[in-house]
Amino acid sequence: MSGLMYPKPGKAKKKKKHGKSIMQDQTCKQCFLCMLLDSDYREKPVHDHHIFYGNGRRQISEAHGFKVNLCLRHHNAGKEAVHENKNYDRLLKRMCQQAYEMEHSHDEFMKIFHEDFL
């Protein structure tokens, strides 16, 4: 006999909102930084990178579409990885803020992060 005879009542998990990236079409598996820095538009294995991460910011990135595709080299392997290279990390944050502020106000961005990356 499978399953519980008397299942425990409980709340269903709230579905997370997954916003589309405001930076790129993520259906094409291209690395955002390879395209930007190396003019390499080939499709390759990529990771979903949340531009703002840590301290609850990953959920904010997910909800607002603050994410891009990154290859392993640019995501977390080596000196060129955004998790190791502060310049690339800041570059993505600046570009994301600029993209967001094309549709929203600077004040709206500041209400979300309380920090200006430009």
Domain that holds residue 48: 32-113
Residue 3 maps to a domain:
no
Q: What is the pTM of this model?
A: 0.81
Q: What is the pLDDT of residues 59-74, one digit of tens each?
A: 988 989 999 999 999 9
- The number of domains in the chain is 1
Residue 69 maps to a domain:
yes
113 pLDDT tier (thresholds 50, 70, 90): confident
Residue 14 maps to a domain:
no
When mean pLDDT is compared across 7-11, 73-77, 88-92, the lowest value belongs to 7-11
Residue 99 maps to a domain:
yes
Cβ contacts of 48-53, under 8 Å, gap ≥ 24: 49/75, 49/82, 49/92, 51/23, 51/92, 51/93, 51/96, 52/93, 52/96, 52/113
Residue 57 maps to a domain:
yes
Residue 1 maps to a domain:
no
The predicted structure's pLDDT at residue 16: 57
